[in-house]
Amino acid sequence: MALSELLKEELILQLGSLPSNALLVINRIVVEVERICTKSERIQNGGDVRSWELTLARHRLSKCIEYYKLGSKQGRVELHSHLSVMIYRQVAPERTQLSFAARHLLIEDFLQDFYADSLKAFRRENDLADNYTPRTRIELAEYMGFTLAYAKRRVMTRYGAVQLLVLRAKSFAKRQPSDTVMDIEQVTEFAKGEEAQMQNRSPVMQQVRERLVADTLDPHDTVVRERVIGELVQYLESQGHNDCADYLILKLQDLSAPEIDDILGLTPRSRDYLQQRFKYHVEKFAHSSHWQLVHQWLGADLDQKLGLSEPQWNAFVAQLDSLQQQLLSLKRANLSDFEIAKALKITPKQVQKRWSHLLEMASLVRNKAPESSNNRINHSIAA
């Protein structure tokens, strides 16, 4: 049976019918697979060309069917999420400390250009017209499958083989302008003199002024939340838990568990293990290294009695031993860990460990109330 007929039967079996323009898509798959097998010396020397053609064609058709079943909207979301994870750490210039929101904007700018380039490559490699655009659902699924494969192509560099998308993202990062040093007072004050007025009207000055005004209109909770997310991503990466950072990024895009499993290549067992490690490191982040930032976001810092009501606070303090009460008093007095260690005659590391335990005790008290502020760090960070 001809390869095109085999693919046609499989498509009907999977979808129940033959979609509009499906035969054109099948023909393009067959032509591409035959071209690959003809040019590959390894396949030609192996002697089983027909088997390779069938394997490669079925693989391409399966990706096409997968995106077809997702539909145009969800298919775009999954493709975008997959590509975003691939370049999250490469799209920004090295040694720059960007927030999650800033890095997300860079990813959006970069991927819009990449999609346009992918469409040009799709037209070129399939001998299509310069104005060709996928219009039917099966054609869009074909294009999304091609874009994913195009992004993963290996390109040889002096450092070895690198995925095309990653290589492009690194080049994009190198083209980003360096930070511009600017006096904030100069931005906000009335310019005096002709030269100062010319500088005051410069595009950079205008952009900074607009950003300052925009920031003042942002809700405080949103600003702090973005900072928490950015710090958490950097914390996970600095600890060597890049898979946890990728998991967080996908959760922030409101993807379902099966979608995340597919993008990260997780089995049910590996997903459970990843979720356990993610939860452990989020709690460590919230109770140890960045407790002040997190509790500020939760509205549960020391000035607010760790988010406890008056009865809860009294019950919490009553269960502390004398050393813990001294630690709490010294923390409320804004002393450093070194100063507290000296006052309590323990090491700074012991101060951090005891304080982390004290925060966990406070969270247990908060958890007794319905929808407590402590629960927000576990499920609202991706809201």
Q: What is the mean pLDDT of residues 26-35?
A: 90
Phi and psi at 161, nearest 5°, equal -75, 135
Of 111-120, 138-147, 276-285, 365-374, which range is least confident? 365-374
DSSP 274-335: HHHHHHHHHHHIIIIITHHHHHHHHT-SGGGGGG--HHHHHHHHHT--HHHHHHHHHHHTT-
Overall pTM surpassing 0.85 (yes/no): no
Q: What is the mean pLDDT of residues 286-300?
A: 70
**pLDDT tens-digit readout, 17-30:** 889 889 999 999 99
Residue 35 has pLDDT above 50, yes or no: yes
Domains in the chain, please, with CATH?
3-90+114-153 (no CATH), 207-287 (no CATH), 303-379 (1.10.10)
For residue 10, the Cα-to-chain-centroid distance in whole angstroms is: 35
Residue 75 has pLDDT above 80, yes or no: yes
Write the CB contacts of 78 (distance below 8 Å, at least 6 apart in sequence): 67, 70, 255, 259, 262, 263
**pLDDT tens-digit readout, 302-327:** 777 777 888 888 888 888 888 888 88
Q: What is the mean pLDDT of residues 214-220?
A: 45
**pLDDT tens-digit readout, 130-180:** 999 998 999 999 999 999 999 998 887 776 778 899 889 988 888 876 554
Tokens found for residue 342: 């000296």
- Name the band, by pLDDT with cuts 50, 70 and 90, for residue 67: very high
Mean pLDDT taken over the chain: 78
**pLDDT tens-digit readout, 237-268:** 888 888 888 888 877 766 677 778 877 888 88
| The predicted structure's pLDDT at residue 272 | 87
| The predicted structure's pLDDT at residue 1 | 63
| The predicted structure's pLDDT at residue 210 | 52
**pLDDT tens-digit readout, 203-212:** 544 554 455 4
| The predicted structure's pLDDT at residue 192 | 45
